[in-house]
Each structure stands twice: as structure tokens, then as C-alpha cells.
Amino acid sequence: MDPRRGAADRPYPVGVDALPTIETASDELRRRALDPPMRFGEGILDEVLAAEEPYVLVTQPQPLALLDPGLRERPLATRIVDSLEHAALDRLVAGLPDGETVVGLGGGMALDAAKYVAWVRGTRLVLVPGIVSVDACVTNTIAVREWGRVVYRGWVVPDLVAVDFAIVRAAPPRLNRAGLGDVLSIHTALWDWRRGGEAGKARFVPAIARRSRAALEGVMALAPAIGEVADAALEAIVRTYALVNGLCVEVRHSQPQEGSEHYVAYRLEALTGRGFVHGEVLGLGGVLMATLQRNDPGRVAATLDAARVGWRPADLEIDRSTLERALVGLPAFIRESGLPYSVIDEADLSPVGVERLLATSPGLWS
């Protein structure tokens, strides 16, 4: 989760200024966000969609192809999402017929696009993740791309999150294994948050940190089952996403789950112009930042390997020179982006320091 908002200087649809944001969401909306309704099961999608008619469907080609022909014919309209650029999302909203419910089916792009439609139109929102590599099905802000960077807009709570194991398991296994990376980020994020509190840059809440850590430990114990893409492990990942999102709602920021490991991912995306599998690039960032923190990086790497997550530069097709450039440029990047305090603020990320980091991070090149 990342409840930060970028500069509000882009045009949005008429009346959007009156819609909820992280700053203005009502207490009732926040209360709902702490415990969003969720359903898990095999083959539940037909029943879920039948209860939502009429609805509009926002999706991607792969999950749409998994639907039976009868299900594909039910929506008032179906839209395929291929961009989270602000202008593309506004075109999506303008081109949809009226409907009481928007259903998002697919990965993070489809879910965030559906969240945007529901936020702007004020409709019911049902999210059906096609993979569990990212927590977009339970987070409340919407990842929007502006000027090539991700900013976070709005505040919306799903009326239902429906996880159909048959849909999720049909995705490539790597996309579900990668869900571990978005949970494992807690390990480095809590270190950053605590250090920010010690430096007077953040209000650290030990009770929230303990609950976040306990959730992490439960998922780490399931690493082999995640590698097998077992239903119970997939459910545990999604439930942990929801629990930790609730903790972030309580403290009104994302530091119980997001820290320097995410900043590495953001920097790599900005530098390369590429989109990575979110949990995989977070795994890389987690090992690197845990090494900087002297925060048991070997356990981070071993857990990723036990779950068969592809986190190494070679897995992500990142060459050494690109990784070096990304790390050397990290301090300037986080200052420009206004990101919260982290180990990056106190580490040596000069070319010499980066060389040392790459040489000492466990398993990085194996």
C-alpha cells in the first residue's frame, strides 16, 4: 500500500475534488477498509458475478479468456485495460455505460483501473484478482501513472474481494509465487520505519509494527507451500495483504509494509522504463536493502528461494551496470520523490559503496 498522493495539478473529471482521498476519507470508509468483505473458493466466480448484474467488467486479455462464453456475454460492457496513464483512465471512465457495479478482473493494472472507475463514479466495486503477486485487490489508493511515474490517487474500498482459486491457478505460477515479495517487504520496511522514528522523521508505533511482523512470520513459514502454489498459501497471502493494509489505514501511511525495498523497485522502473513483476523486483530490493541494514539478508534470500521466487538480477533481466546506476542514483531519487526516511538516507551509495553492496548481498549472482 502507498497512500501518498502526488501533486494535484492534473485535470480530473468534473466533481472529482469532492471525492474521497487519503486525507478526506470518512471514518466510516476507513472502518470498512480495515476489514473488507472477502470470499475464497474454487469456481465461485459465476455465483459472484450473477449477484452483481448489471455490471461493467474491467479486465485484461488473459483472465477474460478464462471465462466461459456465457460469463463473457453478461456484462453491460467489457473493457480491456492496457495502461494506467491518467488520460487513459479518464477515457475509460467516459466510454463506459452507466452501471451500479464495476468488476475488476485480472492483475494489478485491471484492479487499479476498476478502482479508478468506481472512485470517480461512486459505484459498487468487486475485485477478482487473477494473480496474487500484488496487493491491489485490498489497497484503497489507486496507482496512476503521471509523467512516467506512479502516483497514488483517491480512496476506495471494495464491496467484495472474490478469490477464485481456479482463476488464480490458471496464471503462470511465477506470478503467484511473487506474492511473497509484497509481504516480505515488511521485513525491511519495519527497519526503515523504526529508524525513521529514532531519527525524528516518523512516528513509530511499536504495537502496529509487532502485528505487521507477526503477519510476515506466518507467511514466511509457508514459503515452500507458496512455491507449490497451494490454495491455502494463496489465501494466506491475500489475507495478509488485507491485514497489513488495515494496519496502514490505522496509522495513515504505508510504512508498516513499504520502505527502501519499494524505493529500489520504483527507481528501477523509472530508470529502465520497464514494468517488472512487482513481487519479484521487491525481492531483489529486499535482499539489497536488508544487506544495507545488516538485517538478516540471508534469511530474506533463503525465503524467496524456498518459494521459488525469481528475484535475482538475471531473473529480472537487469544487467549489473543498470543495477549500479539505479543504486547510485537512489538518494537523489528518494529526495525528489519525497519518500519517507529509510536506510538510503544514511547509507554509502557512492560507486564504491554500491560495489561493496553488490559484492556482499547474499546469493545475488548465484
What DSSP letter does each residue of 45-65 carry, written as one string?
A: HHHHHHTT-SEEEEE-HHHHH
Residue 113 confidence (pLDDT): 94
Q: What is the pLDDT of residue 17?
A: 58
| Alpha carbon 15 to chain centroid, angstroms | 28
Under 8 Å between Cβ of 279 and 309: yes
pLDDT mean across residues, the chain: 91
Q: Are 204 and 197 contacting, i.e. CB atoms less than 8 angstroms apart?
A: yes
Domain boundaries, the chain: 16-169, 173-360
Query: Cell digits for 320?
Result: 549489473
Q: What is the pLDDT of residue 115?
A: 95
- Cell numbers for 116, please give them: 479508478
Tell me the three cell numbers of residue 121: 463514479
DSSP codes of every residue in 169-236: HTS-HHHHHTHHHHHHHHHHHHHHHHHHHHTTSS---HHHHHHHHHHHHHHHTTHHHHHTT-HHHHHH
Task: Supply the pLDDT for residue 1.
Answer: 40
Q: Which of 349, 336, 362 shows the shortest CA–CA distance to 149?
A: 336
* Residue 5 CA: distances (Å) to CA of 1, 201, 267: 12, 19, 18
For residue 172, give the DSSP letter: -
Q: Which three cell numbers stand for residue 352?
A: 564504491
Which pLDDT value is given to residue 159? 94
For 141-190, the pLDDT digits (tens) are: 898 887 767 788 889 999 999 999 999 999 999 999 999 999 999 999 99
Mean pLDDT, each 10-residue run in order, the chain (366 residues): 35 55 80 91 93 92 88 90 90 86 94 94 94 91 79 89 95 95 97 97 97 97 97 95 94 94 95 92 98 98 98 97 98 94 97 98 94
Q: pLDDT, tens digit, for every residue of 254-300? A: 999 999 999 999 999 999 989 899 999 999 999 999 999 999 999 99
What's the CATH number for 16-169? Answer: 3.40.50.1970
Which three cell numbers mark 29? 470508509
Whether 279 contacts 178, CB under 8 Å: yes
Spacing of C-alpha 344 from chain mean position: 21
CATH 3.20.20.80 fits 173-360, yes or no: no
